[in-house]
Structure 1
Amino acid sequence: MAEEKKTMQDEAPESRNFIHAFIEEDIGPGGQYEGMTVHTRFPPEPNGYLHIGHCKALTIDFGTAEKYGGLCNLRMDDTNPTKEDEEFVEAIKEDIHWLGFDWGDRFFYGSDYFEEDYRQAVGLIKKGLAYVCQLSPEEFKEYRGSIGVPAKSPYRDRPIEESLDLFARMRAGEFPNGAMTLRAKIDLASGNFNMRDPVLYRINHMHHHRQGDKWCIYPMYDFAHPIQDALEGITHSLCSLEFEAHRPLYNWVIENCDLPSKPRQIEFARLGIDHTVMSKRKLRRLVEDGRVSGWDDPRMPTLCGLRRRGYTPRSIRNFCERIGVAKSANVVEYGFLEHCLREDLNETAQRVMAVLRPVKLTIVNYPEDKHETVTVENNPLDESAGTREVSFSRNLWIEAEDFLPEPVPKYKRLFPGGPECRLKGAYLIRCVGYETDAEGNVTEIKAEYDPDSRGGDPADGRKVKGATIHWVDAATALDAEVRLYDNLFTDADPDAADKDFLECLNPDSLEILTGCKVEASLGSAKPSDHFQFMRQGYFCADSKDAAPDHLVFNRSVSLKDSFKK
């Protein structure tokens, strides 16, 4: 299916999408759910951490229920014991709560229904709608058929009693993995290959994270999921577009099993974002191969990684709402996700001063024993944010890029004989010299200040041609480590089938700066606090590596908006 690029004109949220239209038809007069409460579910598989793609699905599931005053269940899809773990269960719960959604007392496991799944399968056998098949995996593939060529199974007409006996013995553990499957008897010639007598159960002698060794046969998702939906009273089973071709099987299970309700499946397009991968298998590979520091590495598209980097629930929910709900596959620019974060933090983040690549600035005519404070705004966009006092003295730290011994054209910062520049919230200064080490590196910049220029406006109405420079007082500055992040992949489509995603990794996706200088107030920063480092970007304290004696800040997003409006 052809993909389309999201543009800014698609940015505004739709008040009503095609899912809402279907639901309103269903609950309206004459609809199949007239007078009923809208009931959805979010069914993640606990074999990894939620990522931004799952976030779109869960905002649709929970958000749709919210819109119609309904309910949304959280159900762990743990019907496949491979790599499922309680660690992932707890992480999924934490991520959903962090985004602001809640499932109340409606938390379930797919494995809670194993006994009922088995009972329904037995019922299908008794109706002549399922049979035990002994094709090997190789034979199954060989007999699958092709377009215009029906599939085959020599076991399709196996007597009901024989299938019942073999299925019971499968459950009892008499047969090895791959020896038998239980298949639905539907249509071996169907043009939809999902309906060509699909497998309902397979043998898997593997320990289950909750059921232990009680079961050695496990239901396939396409069989278990509609049963679970019906048992929970789900009205609308919202799922991603790859399940569209599976909908006839979903409906077949609902119609032929003895179930208390009949949910409706509706599909929507999955979220694609450039310069990242959404496959949990590939994300797991990055973690297990040590390409990233863990599932919560701030470069990962996982919700825990985005949270650690400094993304806010509001920015992510805004992102999901503004890209809308589509029926066709689409790819969204990563820059739009950053744009949504930048919008949020611009309104809420406290402005502070931090120098990432420091060089010493000495104001030679400022008294050596003098110390004072200057007033700076916490956030000029929020009147209630107020102001704070920042210490100021003779010796400061400024950015190395704010000085050049020999200026380039149009350079408006410090250089010998250059224009006056303003120190943010403080005085006007002019560079009068500098010192270097044996290698020629600048070690100290010397400047003179105008004592009458304190504050935000040029003194005596003078027009200042130089730039405004941020700084940190050397007497009170704290050392910090700052981590600058870029896209994890250099390729816009590392997930493409013809590419090795590992070869697309960006070697410059993380730059670690040490010896940075920050305001003293940042010594008590918490991961939930968000800051705009003036002229640098938006930052937060790292939730894992930061400590009172080792400050670590992650850049959440730069100040420059790369998203093309």
Structure 2
Amino acid sequence: MLNDEKSLNFIEEIIEEDIRNEKHAGKVLTRFPPEPNGYLHIGHAKSIVLNFGLAQKYNGRTNLRFDDTNPVTEETEYVESIKNDIKWLGFRWAEELYTSDYFETLYAFAVKLIEKGLAYVDDSSSEEIAAFKGTPTEPGKPTPYRDRSVAENLRLFAEMRDGKYPDGDKVLRAKIDLASPNMHLRDPLLYRIKHAHHHRTGNKWRIYPMYDFAHGQSDSIENITHSICTLEFVPHRPLYDWLIDQLEIFPSKQYEFARLNLNYTVMSKRKLLQLVNEKYVDGWDDPRMPTISGLRRRGYTPASIRNFCERIGVAKRENIIDVGLLEFCIREDLNQTAWRRMAVLDPVKLVITNYPAGQTETLTGENNPEAEGGEGERSIPFSSELWIEREDFMENPPKKFFRLAPGLMVRLKHAYIIKCEDVVKDAAGNITEIHCTYLPESKSGEDTSGIKVKGTIHWVSVPHAKTVEVRLYDRLFNVENPAAETDFKSTINPDSLQIIKNAYAEPDLLHAVPGKGYQFIRKGYFTLDSKTTTADKLVFNRTVTLRDTWAKELRKE
């Protein structure tokens, strides 16, 4: 026994049984086969973690195979983005392959089926083919072309390859069973004509294999032992097996698991492409998108996504996962890895009247108190003029308000205890300055004042503050299942992005780098935006709030 059976998912149980029986010589070879027609999303991440994780666990290998059989929608840009995403998640593939590598072999397979009387060229239109297929309760009927001779089918198929016929004029179909209760076995399409430029083979091919034909045969060519698909491919499995059996090739086997469904999210590539093309989002890597590149730009870490995929497990039944679990995983990771920094997003000036004007002192703060040793310290400049959050002051506070108010004391994080003495207002009655005094003997780490305060607030020294742009991202949709709506775009959350042009940050954030997580103390987790940051303007994206604010709102309802 390779592992405790109680801890195994059903695919691991199958693999361990195969290994015990020395099936496939005890080897495990999986594959991740994306179509390069868009960017990968969090659902693909589950498949990546599963396929690569199984190979790692059982000392096997995983191939990356691009299912590039539809030249109209596929681009090299998508190929490169997919490779980058897999590497970023922490995985390396054994071989980089393309279904287009096998076009000649697949063509030969199709010829073999024709020669065996198991495939024929059909001139029917798509509407006619659908009508002749029947219904789930009524058998189909043969089209007039089903009984063409082998010789005629070989000639016509060769002419299809040579480009003699226009798109849609003919297709190649398998000859199986028009009365089968499984509609996928009622003479499925194997090849269609497409006069389109392919991103790798150029204009060499005028016919392209259908997914159901290319999928299993490509698995077999590569000697894939465990072909892992999502549940919608369960009814396709009999065709997968039939083709392999009739072609007498390596017996790859298909196994299905439940795909990842997240609430408050759409996962359809078609819908995601709509959001991009219609400018609802800033590209495939918009931080509100569920794409891996969007999550990366937002500040999610590879470890948090892998942890999320492992937590949700591998099931045989569809269910919807709460996006709050994904947010929990990134909070859990960033709490241990993110450096703490201070930034003020809605500033009001605080003046310490008894601190020497023009004086500056250097305070220190741990980079991460949750990490062993704190991961070192950074220097924080302090002066008599500070920016604080406007919400941290109330002129007429309610009971149990433990922040700043006239006559109340708070501690400035890493600094001193201060007491509010007065406020300055403009002609409209808006507070422009808060005047305080400080206790020199109350310095953090050296406090001899004997005074205990209940509140601590963050701050940034005015003369040292760096102006930054902060983008507060939230969930893109307002409803749990936007895909179920008649117009899913009508459910977009209008508050999914709030841009703060002039926030103030402590100067150490000048050294921030994309991909590194920072906790803006009391405000959330942030990362430097990799796309819009310039030497003259730092832009920070909020990865996630410190707490699950959505759960709080739901409790109110």
Question: Which range, TM-score by smaller chain?
Answer: over 0.9
**Selected match of 1:304 from 293, 310, 313:** 293
* Shift of residue 458, structure 1, vs aligned partner: 5.8
Within 5 Å, give how 1:148-187 maps onto structure 2.
Answer: 148-152=137-141, 153-187=143-177
CA distance in 2, matches of 1:58, 1:225: 17
- The residue number in structure 2 matching 1:438 is 427
Question: Is 1:527 the equivalent of 2:514?
Answer: yes
Partner of 1:410: 400
* Structure 2 residue identity aligned to 1:488: L
Write the letter of the residue equivalent to 1:32. K
- Contact 2:441–2:447 (Cα < 8 Å) also in 1: no
Q: Which residue of 2 is the match for residue 553 of structure 1? A: 540
Alignment equivalent of 1:19, drawn from 11, 27, 35: 11
Letter aligned with residue 262 of structure 1: P
Whole-Å Cα distance in 2 between the matches of residues 83 and 14 of structure 1? 43
| 1:393 corresponds to which of 367, 383, 402 | 383
Of the three residues 175, 188, 207, the one matched with 1:198 is 188
Distance in 1, Cα, partners of 2:385 & 2:106:
73
Aligned to 1:369: 358
**1:7 paired residue number:** none
Cα distance per residue 1:243-297 (max 9 Å; x no partner): 01100000011101142x1111000010000001101111111111111010110
Partner of 1:486 in structure 2?
474
- How far apart are the structure 1 equivalents of 2:158 and 2:504? 69
One of 329, 334, 355 as aligned partner of 2:344? 355
Q: What letter matches 2:36 in structure 1?
A: P
Alpha-carbon offset, residue 208 of structure 1 = 1.0
Superposed CA offset, 1:537-563 (max 9, x none): 111100011123101100101101358
Structure 1 residues without counterparts, runs of 5 or longer: 1-12
Q: Give 1:369 deviation, angstroms.
A: 2.9
Answer yes or no: is the 8 Å Cα contact 1:524–1:548 preserved in 2. Answer: no
The one of the two structures with greater contact order (alpha-carbon pairs below 8 A, sep at least 6) is 1
SS in 2 for 1:79: coil
Shift of 1:155: 1.8
Partner of 2:470, secondary structure, is strand
Counterparts of 2:449 and 2:503 in 1: how far apart (Å)? 35
Counterpart of 1:526 in 2: which secondary structure? coil
Instruction: State the Cα distance separating 1:459 from its structure 2 match.
Output: 4.0
Deviation at 1:564, TM superposition (A): 7.0
Structure 1 position 195, deviation (Å): 0.5
Choose from 332, 353, 369 the match for 1:343. 332
Q: Does 1:262 align with 2:238?
A: no
Is 1:477 equivalent to 2:465 in the alignment? yes
Task: Select 1:97's aligned residue among 87, 97, 110.
Answer: 87
| Distance of 1:78 and 1:23 partners within structure 2 | 28
Query: Deviation at 1:210?
Result: 1.1
Question: What SS is found at the alignment partner of 2:541?
Answer: strand
**3-state SS, counterpart of residue 346 of structure 1:** helix
Secondary structure at 1:293 match in 2: coil
Note the C-alpha offset of 1:91: 0.6
Is 2:378–2:508's contact at 8 Å kept on the other side of the alignment?
no
TM (norm. structure 1) is 0.94
**Could you tell which deviates more after superposition, 210-219 or 476-485?**
210-219
Q: Say if 2:288 and 2:473, in contact at 8 Å, map to a contact too.
A: yes
Distance 2:50 2:516 in 1: 28
| Deviation of the 1:362 alpha carbon | 0.2
**Does residue 439 of structure 2 align to residue 447 of structure 1?**
no
Counterpart contact for 1:272–1:332, Cα < 8 Å: yes
Change over 3 Å in CA distance of 1:14–1:61 after alignment to 2: farther
After superposition, give the CA deviation of every residue in 1:341-393 in whole Å (9 maximum; x if it has no partner): 00000001111111111110000111113211122121111133122221111
Of 40, 55, 63, the match for 1:65: 55
Instruction: Please give the TM-score of this superposition, normalised by the length of structure 2.
Output: 0.96
User: What is the rounded CA distance, in whole Å, between the counterparts of 1:209 and 1:506 in structure 2?
Assistant: 37
Q: 1:225 aligns with which of 194, 215, 225?
A: 215
CA contact (8 A) 1:120 1:258 kept: no
Would you say the 8 A contact 1:424–1:456 is kept in 2? no
For 2:33, the equivalent position in structure 1 comes to 43
1:475 match: secondary structure? helix
| 1:468 corresponding residue in structure 2 | 456
